């Protein structure tokens, strides 16, 4: 070791014949006085013996520079940690490096999931920090706001036990990244991305920013082709295109968890059909994967999802993220982003068509409101932050397809409407961003109809690009339109019957009433383990439409009626 003031030469564990000088300039941004630098570099803990093996473990030494008192010349440098160890290896030489980082003991306050720090040198927005408590436990946090030398940090694991005397905070200079790998399929993780299935650790193939990469709008391709859910009301009347984002609007007490699990069991791709050939759609597909993220669910719901996926053999193509109700609220903010980062890797790097199911986005919005209240921000509607529209868009807009990549990301976020109020800010803003909605109806549920999907307020805006000849079947669009029209007329006749009585109805009105009943009992109603591919659902729709004479099927062209109206028509 030579010239300890500048630290220019620092050597240890170098074999004979190797270069004897290595430069390690001290970071000038720390502003060390020359005397302190000299004392630290000459201190015994930093003089490491020569290594006797080709691999050296990391050694860490911490030295207190100042004690927190009003007379300190620079209270920002309350604690400096030194980390020395192996950083890189060469074929004929091994060298260690000196890394210097600052740990702060300047916690000035704790507010809910937030920690406020004073006298921080150069904090960065969204920078990850490591928080060490007095008992030695470590937690992670993220810089949420920067104001000069003050920083507001949101703690992912909760703020219980954090004080201003023994808690130290280290700024890493990195944004939050998550390890991703193809091996994540079939695994279960908590809301922070840590495995909780007692399996081996994930060997990451990459570390990706959970906020995702910016996608050039000109590089996006229009969503097309269909993802089949196995549920007739969705596949026939609200078809989902690959790359689409379409939410499920539900409410407390409705079976949205069961519907989500059923979609995971049955979902698959509908492949393009060659002309003159008929193929079955959906089912297992090596190119299809599901990323499922549950936020704020109770233990019973979490066990239901795990048990259902494992018992039905769908777990091998599912990556499951579980944020429980007793987990820190702040963790719910990063859970959907970690799930979408995993989906982006599977889609754009591994070439898979990924279906992302997020439940429950209302829990996510409540977590956002809690953080906003802790920051004392001006609230918007019903206490939610004014930037919630933008925040939700950073999640929903990560669905889509990219030019030159074979994979796609399709999103089905599920949210519960408080008091069945569709004008609540969460479903209201979600409806602005997404491309349609699937509405789960309480009246159908009370009549024991499962899945209780009301097709009239439901809509898929990109349905036209996912159906038709070559993708599903050429009669698909016409059948869907006719089902909508007849069901709407049947609802009107039902309301009129309540006023004038059944005796005052015409024979044509009675046909619509018959269709209404059979449509709900045979087409909408479907067992939880009853899988119908798109062709079976279309054939079932034709059996219902045959209740009417051809003259009343106004929305289906004559050519299509000639091909499909007859019971023995070849499909």
| pLDDT tens string 484-499 | 999 999 999 999 999 9
pLDDT at 568: 59
Greater confidence, 274 or 172? 172
Report which of residues 233 and 1 the model is more confident about.
Answer: 233
Q: Where are the alpha helices (DSSP H) in 434-571?
A: 442-446, 476-500, 507-518, 534-545, 558-564
- Reply yes or no: is the peptide bond before residue 299 cis, omega within 30 of 0: no
Whole-number pLDDT of residue 529? 92
Task: Calculate the average pLDDT of the chain.
Answer: 82
Q: What angle do CA 295, 396, 420 make, to 5 degrees?
A: 60
Query: Could you give all domains of the chain from N- to C-terminal order, each with its CATH number?
Result: 178-465 (3.40.50.12240), 476-564 (no CATH)
Query: At 51, is the pLDDT very low, low, confident or very high (cuts 50, 70, 90)?
Result: very low
Mean pLDDT on 124-135:
92
- Tell me the CA distances in angstroms from 338 to 38, 294, 320, 341, one per residue in order: 44, 12, 11, 5
Average pLDDT of the residues in 237-241: 96
- The CA distance from 514 to 490, in Å, is 8
Q: For the chain, percent helix, then strand, then coil, each to nearest 5?
A: 35, 25, 40
- Cα 278 to Cα 274, 478, 538: the distances in Å are 8, 19, 14
Q: What is the mean pLDDT of residues 61-70?
A: 40
Instruction: Report yes or no: 223 and 402 within 8 Å, Cβ to Cβ.
Output: no
Q: In whole angstroms, how large is the CA radius of gyration of the chain?
A: 30
Q: How far apart are CA 555 and CA 485, in angstroms?
A: 8
Alpha carbon 547 to chain centroid, angstroms: 44
DSSP string, 314-330: -GGGEEEEEEETTS-TT
pLDDT digits (tens, 9 = 90+) for 516-562: 999 999 999 999 999 999 999 999 999 999 999 999 999 999 999 99
pLDDT digits (tens, 9 = 90+) for 452-485: 999 999 999 999 999 998 889 999 999 999 999 9
**Segment among 48-62, 130-144, 298-312, 346-360 with least mean pLDDT:** 48-62
Instruction: Give the pLDDT confidence of 355-383 residue by residue, as tens digits.
Output: 999 998 999 999 999 989 988 889 999 99
Q: Is the pLDDT of residue 391 over 90?
A: yes
Which of the two residues, 4 and 210, has the higher pLDDT score? Answer: 210
Beta bridge partners of 291: 319, 356
* Ranges 62-76, 274-288, 406-420: which has the least confidence: 62-76
- Higher-pLDDT residue of 243 and 71 is 243
Structure tokens at 427: 């479903």
> Which comes out higher in pLDDT, residue 33 or 214?
214
Helix (H, G, I), strand (E, B) or coil at 19: coil
Q: Which whole number is the average pLDDT over 202-210?
A: 93
Q: Are 116 and 150 in contact (CB under 8 A)?
A: yes
pLDDT mean over 264-290 = 68
Q: For residue 215, what is the enclosing H or E element?
A: none
CB 373 within 8 A of CB 379: yes
pLDDT at 443 over 60: yes
Helices marked H in 457-475 — which ranges?
none
**Would you say residue 45 has pLDDT above 60?**
no
pLDDT of residue 37: 42
In the three-class reduction of DSSP (H, G, I as helix; E, B as strand; rest coil), residue 476 is classed as helix
pLDDT at 65 over 60: no
Higher-confidence position of 9 and 267 = 267
CA distances from 273 to 233, 241, 480 (A): 22, 16, 20
Residue whose C-alpha is closest to residue 424's, from 382, 373, 380: 382
d(CA 471, CA 474): 9
DSSP letter string, 171-199? EEEEE-EEEE-GGGTT-EEETTS-B-SS-
Q: Is the pLDDT score of 26 beyond 60? A: no
Exposure on the CB side of residue 230, measured as CA atoms within 13 A: 19
Which 3 state secondary structure label does DSSP give 29? helix
Give the length of the chain: 571
């Amino acid at each position: 070791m030579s010239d300890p003031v500048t630290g220019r030469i620092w050597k240890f564990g170098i074999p004979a014949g190797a270069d004897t000088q290595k430069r390690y300039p001290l970071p000038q941004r720390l502003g060390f006085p020359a005397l302190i630098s000299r004392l630290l570099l000459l201190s015994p803990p930093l003089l490491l013996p020569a290594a006797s093996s080709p691999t050296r473990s990391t050694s860490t030494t911490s030295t207190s520079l100042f004690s927190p008192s009003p007379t300190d010349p620079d209270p920002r440098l309350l604690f400096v940690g030194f980390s020395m160890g192996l950083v890189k290896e060469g074929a004929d030489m091994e060298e260690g490096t000196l890394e210097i980082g600052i740990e702060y003991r300047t916690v000035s306050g704790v507010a809910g999931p937030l920690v406020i720090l004073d006298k921080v040198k150069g904090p960065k927005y969204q920078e990850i920090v490591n928080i060490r408590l007095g008992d030695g436990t470590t937690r992670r946090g993220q810089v949420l706001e920067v104001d000069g030398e003050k920083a507001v940090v949101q703690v992912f694991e909760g703020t219980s036990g954090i004080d201003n005397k023994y808690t130290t905070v280290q700024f890493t200079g990195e944004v939050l990244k998550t390890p991703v790998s193809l091996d994540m399929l079939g695994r279960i993780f908590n809301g922070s991305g840590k495995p909780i299935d007692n399996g081996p650790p994930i060997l990451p193939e990459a570390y990706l920013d959970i906020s995702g990469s910016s996608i050039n709008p000109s590089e996006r391709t229009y969503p097309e082709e269909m993802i089949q859910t196995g549920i007739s009301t969705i596949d026939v009347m609200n078809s989902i295109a690959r790359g689409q984002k379409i939410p499920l609007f539900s409410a407390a007490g409705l079976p949205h968890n069961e519907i989500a699990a059923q979609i995971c069991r049955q979902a698959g791709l509908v492949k393009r059909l060659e002309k003159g050939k008929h193929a079955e759609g959906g089912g297992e597909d090596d190119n299809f994967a599901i990323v499922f993220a549950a936020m704020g669910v109770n233990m019973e719901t979490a066990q239901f999802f795990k048990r259902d996926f494992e018992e039905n053999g769908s777990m091998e193509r599912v990556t499951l993220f579980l944020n429980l109700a007793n987990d820190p609220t702040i963790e719910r903010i990063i859970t959907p982003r970690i799930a979408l980062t995993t989906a982006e890797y599977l889609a754009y790097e591994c070439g898979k068509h990924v279906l992302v199911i997020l439940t429950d986005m209302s829990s996510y919005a409540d977590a956002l409101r809690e953080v906003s209240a802790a920051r004392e921000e001006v609230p918007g509607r019903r206490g939610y932050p004014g930037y919630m529209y933008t925040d939700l868009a950073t999640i929903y807009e990560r669905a889509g397809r990219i030019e030159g990549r074979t994979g796609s990301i399709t999103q089905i976020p599920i949210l519960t409407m408080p008091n069945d109020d569709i004008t609540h800010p969460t479903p209201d803003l979600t409806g602005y961003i997404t491309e349609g909605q699937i509405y789960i109806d309480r009246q159908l549920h009370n009549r024991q109809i499962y899945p209780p999907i009301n097709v009239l307020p439901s809509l898929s805006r990109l349905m036209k690009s996912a159906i038709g000849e070559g993708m599903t079947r050429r009669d698909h669009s016409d059948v869907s339109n006719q089902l909508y029209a007849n069901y709407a007329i049947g609802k009107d006749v039902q309301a009129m019957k309540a006023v004038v009585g059944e005796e005052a109805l015409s024979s044509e009105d009675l046909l619509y009433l018959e269709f209404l009943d059979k449509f709900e009992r045979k087409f909408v109603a479907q067992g939880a383990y009853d899988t119908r591919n798109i062709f079976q659902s279309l054939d079932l729709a034709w059996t219902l439409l045959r209740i009417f004479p051809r003259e009343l099927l106004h929305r289906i062209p004559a050519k299509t009626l000639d091909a499909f109206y007859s019971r023995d028509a070849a499909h």
